[in-house]
């Protein structure tokens, strides 16, 4: 059986501050909220997170090309700026 390159997992070690942001409650049921819950469920108790190439691409797209500087785009930027090198134009970190 061939493994699709988009499903290969890459593991990252989040810092405590990054993991705390990812663990923040998510209210609502829209597309960003569902995606954030999906990412939250990938986080292990030791603050490691395994992401597929597809998920990494979505994070990058949401942060770099998202409309405005919304709350979830900002959270993703604060969580993954260091490990995935994604940034957005906005004022200061969430935590």
**3-class secondary-structure state, position 27:** coil
Contacts of 18 (CB under 8 A, 6+ apart): 47, 78, 79, 80, 82, 83
For residue 61, is pLDDT > 90?
Answer: no
Number of domains, the chain: 1
Considering the domain boundaries, does residue 91 fall inside one?
no
Q: Could you tell me which residue, 35 or 3, shows the higher pLDDT?
A: 35
pTM as predicted: 0.78
Per-residue pLDDT tens over the stretch 20-51: 999 999 988 888 889 999 999 999 999 999 99
Q: Is residue 76 part of a domain?
A: yes
Q: What is the pLDDT of residues 66-75, one digit of tens each?
A: 654 567 788 8
pLDDT for position 14: 95
Residue 62 burial (10 A CB sphere; 0-12, 13-18, 19+): buried
Residue 46 counted as domain residue: yes
């Amino acid at each position: 059986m061939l493994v699709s390159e988009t499903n290969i997992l890459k593991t990252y070690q989040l810092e405590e501050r990054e993991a705390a942001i990812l663990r923040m409650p998510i209210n609502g049921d829209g597309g960003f909220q569902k995606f954030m819950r999906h990412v939250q469920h990938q986080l292990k108790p030791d603050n490691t997170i395994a992401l597929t190439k597809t998920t990494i691409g979505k994070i990058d797209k949401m942060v770099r090309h998202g409309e405005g500087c919304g709350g979830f785009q900002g959270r993703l930027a604060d969580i993954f700026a260091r490990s995935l090198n994604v940034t957005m134009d906005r004022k200061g970190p969430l935590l």
